[in-house]
């Protein structure tokens, strides 16, 4: 008997519109599911979250950087210095960091990368930590109403990350990206909160993630009025805010496993300011999502974009194609304000799709859908090895991000389920 995606997605009973959409949008489902099934109540699953970083009840800490977690490498001819910084402790459920719902001995922490072609190659590891922290930093901070940081309650703890400046890269001189100056374009300096599982459970292809987040005030300005270069088009650029990548795993010195950049599939959620073809100058920020192979391949291929109309041309931006504002709707991009981000996916291969098991990806901000895609999103034998919450942009610096109330579920939870935990 064929597995039907529309019958196996566990969806909460107080959001039936999403479950109905999952069934009625895909014609393949309609052909195989009796009409009476579409009228039946949506399945409700009572259960616990897989992991819950709640800002009030946990022992989460951002650990000091270990010297053995730093490196000096080259990327596309540029010297890159970087460090990994662990997140440790327990969540509100008593689960230890890193989350182990996809295998033990994974990793959770910040991937800190700094472009620097002129950095001394013989820096000591201790000096490299200090060097990286000049440009990027992480902390666990208290957010409260005294400084208008109020996602859900007073005195919550939030994970804070920033990229203060990109190191000088020359030539050209206008890529110098000290605070307040021109944007980074296609540089790789970033500070990405990363969760690395050790395998992807084929029997549980669904994952729902939600959290509260805030960007730095003035984010829109940081993404506009930039000089054209790789990563910048029509004075506008990009900022990646969420994604996952696939690939293999390597064991670090501490015995934990971390993702390798050698996969075949990526999904990224971004904030963009690229203009429409007939527009002069950058656009107001808008959301866009993409599925592509930028998880390791240098022969870039794009599989889909959402929403409709956000892509021009058949090539990647650096080869002639570019993003443009979506037509028909626009979800406001919060600037310096707390917002709720949600994402849900059901993973399925091309072969499974021909058998009626259709892949799905959905993301929303403050309850409004920003992108949705039906179709295969998995390559057999290529598991998710990184779930990412980046501080990474082609715009001006400094940039920052706060994350609070981070939840992982194997289904879209009901409000009653959420109220029962932690």
Q: What are the pLDDT digits (tens) for 143-186? A: 865 545 544 445 578 999 999 876 554 333 333 444 445 677 77
**Where does residue 381 rank: exposed (0-12), middle (13-18), buried (19+ CB within 10 A)?**
exposed
Give the residue numbers spanning the domain of 381. 45-419
How far, in Å, CA of 93 to CA of 99, rounded? 11
Query: Which pLDDT belongs to residue 220?
Result: 94
- Asked if the structure places residue 400 within a domain, the reply is yes
Cα distance between the two ends of the chain: 38
- Asked if the structure places residue 263 within a domain, the reply is yes
- Asked if the structure places residue 2 within a domain, the reply is no
How far, in Å, CA of 322 to CA of 278, rounded? 13
pLDDT of 312 over the 60 cut: yes
- Asked if the structure places residue 13 within a domain, the reply is no
pLDDT of 2 over the 50 cut: no
How far, in Å, CA of 213 to CA of 271, rounded? 14
DSSP 378: B
- Asked if the structure places residue 34 within a domain, the reply is no
How far, in Å, CA of 161 to CA of 182, rounded? 21
- Structure tokens, 309: 């109309």
Give the angle subtended at the CA of 253 by the CAs of 403 and 113, to the nearest 5°. Answer: 45
* Residues 270-281, mean pLDDT to the nearest whole number: 83
Which phi and psi (to 5°) does residue 272 adopt?
-130, 150
- Asked if the structure places residue 320 within a domain, the reply is yes
Question: Which stretches does DSSP call E strand in 339-383?
Answer: 339-346, 360-365, 368-374
Ranking 60-74, 142-156, 392-406 by mean pLDDT, the lowest is 142-156
- Asked if the structure places residue 349 within a domain, the reply is yes
The alpha carbon of residue 134 and the mean position of all alpha carbons in its chain are separated, in whole angstroms, by 24
Q: Which residue has the higher pLDDT, 296 or 146?
A: 296
Percentage of the chain with pLDDT > 90? 46
Question: Which stretches does DSSP call E strand in 76-221?
Answer: 78-88, 107-115, 136-143, 156-163, 190-196, 206-215
- Asked if the structure places residue 36 within a domain, the reply is no
Question: How many structural domains is the chain composed of?
Answer: 1
Ranking 49-53, 68-72, 240-244 by mean pLDDT, the lowest is 68-72
pLDDT of 30 over the 80 cut: no
* Residues 231-238, mean pLDDT to the nearest whole number: 87
Q: Which residue has the higher pLDDT, 201 or 181?
A: 201
Q: What are the pLDDT digits (tens) for 94-117? A: 999 999 888 888 999 999 998 766
Query: Which pLDDT belongs to residue 252?
Result: 86
């Amino acid at each position: 008997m064929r597995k039907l995606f529309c019958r196996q997605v566990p969806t909460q009973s107080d959001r039936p519109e999403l479950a109905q959409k999952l069934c009625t949008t895909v014609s393949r489902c309609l052909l195989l599911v009796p009409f009476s099934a579409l009228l039946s109540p949506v399945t409700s699953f009572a259960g616990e979250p897989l992991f819950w970083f709640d800002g009030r009840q946990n022992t989460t800490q951002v650990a000091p950087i270990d010297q053995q977690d730093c490196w000096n490498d080259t990327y596309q001819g540029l010297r890159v210095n970087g460090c990994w910084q662990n997140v440790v402790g327990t969540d509100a459920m008593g689960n230890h960091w890193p989350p182990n719902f996809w295998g033990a001995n994974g990793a959770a922490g910040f991937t800190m990368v700094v472009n620097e072609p002129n950095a001394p190659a013989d820096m000591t590891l201790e000096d490299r930590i200090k060097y990286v922290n000049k440009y990027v930093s992480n902390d666990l901070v208290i957010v409260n109403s005294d400084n208008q940081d109020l996602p859900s309650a007073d005195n919550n703890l939030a994970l804070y990350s920033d990229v203060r400046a990109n190191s000088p890269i020359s030539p050209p001189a206008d890529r110098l990206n000290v605070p307040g100056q021109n944007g980074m374009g296609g540089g790789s300096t970033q500070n990405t909160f990363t969760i690395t599982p050790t395998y992807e459970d084929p029997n549980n292809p669904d994952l729902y993630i939600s959290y509260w987040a805030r960007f730095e005030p003035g984010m829109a300005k940081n993404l506009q009025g930039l000089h054209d270069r790789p990563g910048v088009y029509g004075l506008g650029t990009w900022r990646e805010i969420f994604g996952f990548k696939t690939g293999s795993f390597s064991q670090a010195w501490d015995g934990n496993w971390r993702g390798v950049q050698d996969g075949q599939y990526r999904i990224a959620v971004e904030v963009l300011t690229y203009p429409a073809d007939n527009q002069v100058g950058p656009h107001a920020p808008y959301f866009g999502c993409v599925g592509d192979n930028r998880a390791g391949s240098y022969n870039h291929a794009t599989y889909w974009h959402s929403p409709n109309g956000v892509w021009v041309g058949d090539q990647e931006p650096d080869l002639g194609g570019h993003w443009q504002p979506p037509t028909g709707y626009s979800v406001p991009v919060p600037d310096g304000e707390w917002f709720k981000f949600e994402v849900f996916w059901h993973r399925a291969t091309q072969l499974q799709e021909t058998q009626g098991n259709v892949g799905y990806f959905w993301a929303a901000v403050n309850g409004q859908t920003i992108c949705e895609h039906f179709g295969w999103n998995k390559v057999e034998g290529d598991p998710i090895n990184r779930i990412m919450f980046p501080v990474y942009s082609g715009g001006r610096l400094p940039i920052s991000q706060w994350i609070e109330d981070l939840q992982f579920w194997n289904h879209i939870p009901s409000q009653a389920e959420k109220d029962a935990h932690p």
